[in-house]
């Protein structure tokens, strides 16, 4: 079964997703993906490059991911 993200967001065709992972030892860690996929002529999804405006979205989404992960790590540490 495919793991579902804890959080997703889209800005200017750029997609961000944050995932939670648990190691065999029980430690929790997080990862984020930021991408701009598009469908080619054959209908296959391909990774895309970024325009200047989309690069601004990448920065905003990365900052959002950092804030979200920091909050989750603080919550986990307090538990």
Q: Is the confidence at residue 1, as pLDDT, over 80? A: no
How many beta carbons lie within 10 A of that of residue 16, not counting itself? 22
- List Cα–Cα distances, 66 to 14, 16, 17, in angstroms: 16, 12, 12
pLDDT tens track for 39-78: 999 999 999 999 999 999 999 999 999 999 999 999 888 8
Residue 10's pLDDT is 97
**Model confidence at 3, in pLDDT bands (50, 70, 90)?**
confident
Residue 39, Cβ neighbours under 10 Å: how many? 9
What pLDDT shows up at residue 78? 82
39, 31 Cβ separation under 8 angstroms: no
Residue pair 13/39 in contact by the 8 Å Cβ criterion: no
């Amino acid at each position: 079964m495919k793991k579902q993200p804890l959080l997703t967001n889209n800005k200017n065709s750029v997609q961000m997703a944050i995932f939670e992972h648990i190691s065999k030892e029980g430690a929790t860690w997080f990862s984020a993906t930021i991408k701009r996929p598009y469908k080619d002529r054959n209908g296959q999804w391909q990774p895309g490059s970024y325009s200047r405006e989309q690069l601004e979205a990448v920065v905003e989404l990365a900052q959002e991911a950092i804030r979200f992960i920091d909050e989750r790590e603080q919550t986990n540490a307090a538990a």
